[in-house]
Amino acid sequence: MPPKQSKADVAKKQKVVEDKTFGLKNKNKSKSVQKYVQNIQSSALPKIDPTKLAAKKKKDEEKAREKELNDLFKVAVSQPKVPPGVDPKSILCEFFKAGQCQKGFKCKFSHDLNIQRKGEKIDIYSDKRDEEDTMEDWDQETLEKVVESKKNEYNQNRPTEIVCKHFLEAVEKKQYGWFWACPNGGKECHYRHALPPGYILKSQMKALLDAESEKMLIEDEIEDQRAKLTTSTPMTPDLFMQWKKRKIDEREAGLAEQRAERAKNDRMSGRELFLSDASLFVDDAEAYENTREKKNLRVPNRRSRMNRQQQQDQALLLTLWLIPKRSFLMMMTTMSWTWTSLTNLKQVCQERLFRFASQVSRLHLNVRER
């Protein structure tokens, strides 16, 4: 079998053909010229083996025939849905199983027929018998049969939380697996076939103790790392202070550079502005007086209005108290008031008088306490 020609050799021969046919007239009209050009091209290009060409043609025809038969008699195949968090390579491709997958290694599903035999690793911390048969799918007849059969067996074969010694021995010797059967009656063994949470096997305990004994102390590890240092300078107080001063200077220089950059971009905070130029924050000499005048010109708030109303009520009550009773009645008779309005006025006066008296008594108490 002759070696394959490289692209450079093919391009070189193509250039030779173009050079030989350059300048020929009547390339598209004269048959003799066209025949000459074809002879030159066939002599320059590599010759194709007719037997290989026939074999390739036959192979393509067989593929086309097989594809046609598959299209005619193919079975409807559907890929299983991949559950979330599951690797698709752990699921067998259904098209590959039926011999119809055309993706090859690009298929996201597995093309290993033994993938179905490879189950998950057995869990030695759970008992398989706990989930084998539950009463979720039982009918009333099955439930009655189970209750009747277990009536006498329960006391004879009471389940316990003790771990089976045969199970522990099998786990220690690494003999426990899917096909392991307990010598103590198989599935009828009333001991637990599961390790309690946090249980450590003897083999694991030995490995942990060996690792702990071989572990280097932290002091020895530090000394070992220090011994590996080839170039080191002995630390002295003067050398440490020089290093500390250099670090502080570097930090101050970095902060100054950042402040300059922020000032350049007009992004300084109020504190930075005050530290850079405190004269920007000097208050006006008359600022306090202006603020005080503004406060005096403000609308009185609710408390001041209530105090003013209270003072007015006290003045009115004092006036009514000082007016003689006869003059008060004469004044009332001269006015054209109804009996209802007089009654209301009397009640208002009594209420205000009572409030005024209570305030006066509080005032006397405060004076005595002082």
317 contacts: CB under 8 Å, gap ≥ 6? 349, 352, 353, 355, 356
Of 90-99, 163-172, 227-236, 344-353, the range with the lowest mean pLDDT is 344-353
Distance in angstroms (rounded) separating the CA atoms of residues 308 and 315:
11
Written as one string, the DSSP assignment of 237-287 is HHHHHHHHHHHHHHHHHHHHHHHHHHHHTT---HHHHHHH-GGGGPPPTTH
Nearest-angstrom CA–CA distance, 267 and 260: 10
What percentage of the chain has pLDDT greater than the value 70? 51
Q: Give the rounded percent of residues in the chain with a pLDDT score beyond 90.
A: 4
Judge if pTM exceeds 0.85.
Answer: no
What is the number of other CB atoms lying within 10 angstroms of the CB of residue 109? Answer: 21
User: What tens digit of pLDDT does each residue of 264-305 get?
Assistant: 777 777 777 777 776 766 665 556 666 666 665 555 555 666
Cβ distance 57 to 65 under 8 Å?
A: no
The helix (H) or strand (E) run that includes residue 349 is: helix 339-369
Contact 31, 37 (CB under 8 A): no
Give the C-alpha separation, 111 to 226, whole Å: 55
Nearest to 349 by CA among 341, 361, 338: 341
Q: How confident is the model at residue 335 (pLDDT cuts 50, 70, 90)?
A: very low
More confident position, 126 or 148: 126
Phi, then psi, of 82 in degrees rounded to 5: -85, 120
> Minimum mean pLDDT among 168-182, 243-257, 307-321: which range?
307-321
Residue 53 has pLDDT above 90, yes or no: no
Which is nearest to 171 in space by CA: 195, 206, 140? 195
Whole-number pLDDT of residue 222: 85
Dihedral angle sign, alpha carbons of residues 190, 194, 199, 205: positive
* Residue range 140-169: mean pLDDT, rounded: 62
Query: Amino acid identity, residue 286?
Result: E
Residue 245 has pLDDT above 90, yes or no: yes
